Amino acid sequence: MCLAVPGRVLDIGEKDGTRMATVDFGGVQKEVCLEYLPDLRVGEYAIVHVGFALQRLDEESARQTLALFEELGMLQEEFGDPWEQAAAQAGADSPWPFADGPYAEGPYAGEATAPQEAQEGRQ
């Protein structure tokens, strides 16, 4: 599911000519484009959807919405690790969803990729 989530602007800068901000969503920080809200300031809240700040929001409304999303588990769904979520949905005990994969055992157990020298040895 893709939500429009309220977040608080922590800082504002420019990236490749585009006005960007670091936004806090109840403990999770993401980079957000501010092109639709060019006058948004540090400390203010905005509704963010797919990386774009769309609408200014007052602090109380933002806090209530974040609390509700967290209560419903929607913040974890939106911002959590997709590998952990997939493993949980599959009922896996391991955080790595491919428990029988090439790095399930040995010195690189649980890692998504082995160091370069180990990868070269596998080719």
For residues 97 and 86, is the Cβ–Cβ distance under 8 A? yes
The overall average pLDDT reported for the chain is: 76
For residues 40 and 9, is the Cβ–Cβ distance under 8 A? yes
- Say yes or no to pLDDT of 98 above 80: no
Close Cβ partners of 69 (under 8 Å, ≥ 6 residues apart)? 3, 5, 26, 75, 78
**What is the mean predicted confidence (pLDDT) over 23-42?**
92
Classified as helix, coil or strand, 76 is helix
Q: What is the pLDDT of residue 85?
A: 55
